């Protein structure tokens, strides 16, 4: 059995990331997976990228990471996100940009684990947070378990093997500390929520554990939440001159 720590959507929030990494160390995980969006929104993109490169065994590139490399992608961002993106790009040196550019957008681990930032659908970027979106995602998923982020919401979608429909999909919102059994006779889309900018009205940093043995054995997905120094993260955001809304939303979980 391998115990994976799953993190996503850090968004330059150093205080949240440090607390989550400390928790994962206490949990004695075997490997740490990062599902992207290391940068963007928050005031510590370089520091967070350094931590991810040091601690994570597998890392996929998210859309904010991609936009830090390609200014043309800024047209898809709202005003606050674009302002943060332009600021972020100025904070990253050649080493960090090189690291981002060499990250993959999808990683397959063995026969049954797929890592992506947003959706398993090739050549698409989508938010998978409703059953209709999950139907489209399952149409492109051959693996038993897809770990993804992007929505900043902890969710699990499951469907029996075969064609997925809105009727066949089970939607679950995992809660702190409760294990969810992943049936090997089904396919699953699992989202650990956001480390650095949760949007489920819970401001605590969100991450998950995955206990995985083999494609034909049950896996266990457990969401975890942890407190961190939100006030310090807000102060750092304001000192960086980033839009006020990006600091305010941290205490709202929105």
Category of 37 on φ-ψ map: left (φ > 0), alpha (ψ -120 to 50) or beta: left
Q: pLDDT by residue for the chain (254 residues), tens digit each?
A: 999 999 999 999 999 999 999 999 999 999 999 999 999 999 999 999 999 999 999 999 999 999 999 989 888 899 999 999 999 999 999 999 999 999 999 999 988 999 999 999 876 677 898 899 999 999 999 999 999 999 999 999 999 988 899 999 999 999 999 999 999 999 999 999 999 999 999 999 999 999 999 999 999 999 999 999 999 999 999 999 999 999 999 999 99
- Say what the pLDDT of residue 172 is: 96
Rounded to whole angstroms, the Cα distance separating 36 from 6 reads: 11
**Contact between residue 163 and residue 186 where contact means Cβ atoms under 8 Å apart:** no
The neighbouring-strand residues paired with 2 are 212
> Crossing angle for the helix pair 14-26 and 45-55, nearest 10 degrees?
20
A 10 A CB-CB count for 61 gives: 24
Nearest of 118, 131, 142 to residue 191 by alpha carbon: 118
- Say what the pLDDT of residue 162 is: 86
- Say what the pLDDT of residue 123 is: 65
Q: Would you say how long the chain is, in residues?
A: 254
Query: Could you tell me the CATH number of the domain that includes residue 91?
Result: 3.60.21.10
Category of 213 on φ-ψ map: left (φ > 0), alpha (ψ -120 to 50) or beta: alpha
Number of domains in the chain: 1
Which range marks the domain in which residue 219 is found? 2-251
Q: Which run of H or of E encompasses 4? A: strand 2-7
Nearest of 5, 94, 90 to residue 39 by alpha carbon: 90
Six-digit token pair at 18? 């440090």
Six-digit token pair at 129? 């947070």
- Say what the pLDDT of residue 45 is: 98
Q: Give how far Cα 38 sits from Cα of 99, 186, 218, Å.
A: 12, 30, 30
- Say what the pLDDT of residue 121 is: 84
The neighbouring-strand residues paired with 189 are 146, 157
3-state secondary structure of 91: helix
- Say what the pLDDT of residue 124 is: 66
Category of 110 on φ-ψ map: left (φ > 0), alpha (ψ -120 to 50) or beta: left
- Say what the pLDDT of residue 84 is: 96
């Amino acid at each position: 059995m391998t115990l994976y720590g799953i993190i996503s959507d850090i968004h330059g929030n150093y205080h949240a990331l440090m607390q989550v990494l400390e928790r994962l160390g206490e949990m004695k995980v075997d490997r740490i997976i990062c599902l992207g969006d290391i940068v963007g929104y928050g005031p510590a993109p370089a520091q967070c990228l350094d931590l991810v490169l040091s601690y994570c065994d597998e890392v996929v590139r998210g859309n904010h990471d991609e936009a830090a490399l390609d200014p043309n992608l800024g047209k898809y961002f709202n005003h606050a996100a674009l302002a943060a993106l332009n600021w972020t790009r100025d904070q990253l040196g050649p080493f960090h940009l090189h690291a981002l550019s060499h990250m993959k957008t999808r990683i397959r681990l063995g026969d049954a684990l797929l890592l992506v930032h947003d959706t398993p659908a090739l050549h698409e970027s989508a938010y998978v947070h409703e059953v209709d979106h999950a139907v489209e995602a399952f149409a492109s998923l051959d693996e038993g378990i897809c770990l993804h982020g992007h929505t900043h919401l902890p969710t699990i979608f499951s469907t029996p093997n075969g064609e997925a429909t809105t009727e066949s999909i089970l939607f679950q919102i995992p809660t702190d500390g409760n294990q969810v059994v992943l049936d090997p006779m089904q396919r699953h889309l699992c989202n650990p929520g956001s480390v650095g900018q949760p949007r489920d009205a819970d401001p605590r940093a969100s991450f998950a554990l995955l206990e995985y043995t083999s494609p034909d054995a049950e896996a266990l997905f457990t969401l975890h939440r942890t407190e961190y120094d939100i006030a310090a993260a807000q102060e750092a955001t304001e000192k960086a001159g980033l839009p006020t809304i990006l600091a305010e939303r941290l205490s709202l979980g929105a």
